[in-house]
Amino acid sequence: MATVQEALVQILTADGAVHDLVGDRVYPAAVPQGGVLPAVAYKRISNMRVYSHGGDSHLARPRFQLDCVAESYSEAVRVAEAVTTALSGYRGDEVVRVEATFIENEMDYFQLLDDDSRRYIASVDVFIWHQY
């Protein structure tokens, strides 16, 4: 059975603007150490399943955080804008039926690395309503 995570990766890598910036560098949980940047890492923050009086509706609403990681702040923001545009209001039948996507939050920060250099991260939180 396909997962919503697989659908998320497919949506992002099929989007021209996202692909132009990160190619296929969309990773679960974290960007690999020493990996090519920019890149996107996604992680599921929560997962709410929807029930009705009749029982399980087979509809879920997970929240994902997508970290757009780059060597410069402006590049991280450009990737986050492309990700936001690709996902905001998206509907479709990829590997799972996506009913709707809603951008919930956006934030920017940096990581200080062991060599005192920085990686910049622009995060996007999105709810993905989908059938399972």
pLDDT band at residue 114 using 50, 70 and 90 as cut-offs = confident
The pLDDT, as a whole number, for residue 95 is 86
Q: For the chain, how many residues are written?
A: 132
Reference 12, options 71, 76, 66, 61; nearest CA is 66
The pLDDT, as a whole number, for residue 1 is 75
Average pLDDT along the chain? 95
Q: Tell me: the pLDDT tens digits for 1-48? A: 799 999 999 999 999 999 999 999 999 999 998 899 999 999 999 999
pLDDT band at residue 99 using 50, 70 and 90 as cut-offs = very high
What's the CATH code of the domain at 59?
A: 3.30.2000
What gap in Å lies between CA 90 and CA 97, rounded to an integer?
Answer: 11
- Determine the structural domain holding residue 119 and report its residue range: 4-63+70-131
Percent of the chain whose pLDDT exceeds 90: 86
What gap in Å lies between CA 79 and CA 85, rounded to an integer?
Answer: 10
What gap in Å lies between CA 72 and CA 70, rounded to an integer?
Answer: 5
Give whole-number Cα distances, 66 to 55, 70, 84, in Å.
31, 13, 10
The pLDDT, as a whole number, for residue 34 is 87
Question: Based on the structure, what is the number of domains in the chain?
Answer: 1
Q: What is the mean pLDDT of residues 44-67?
A: 94
The pLDDT, as a whole number, for residue 48 is 95
Strand pairing report for 97-112 and 118-131: antiparallel
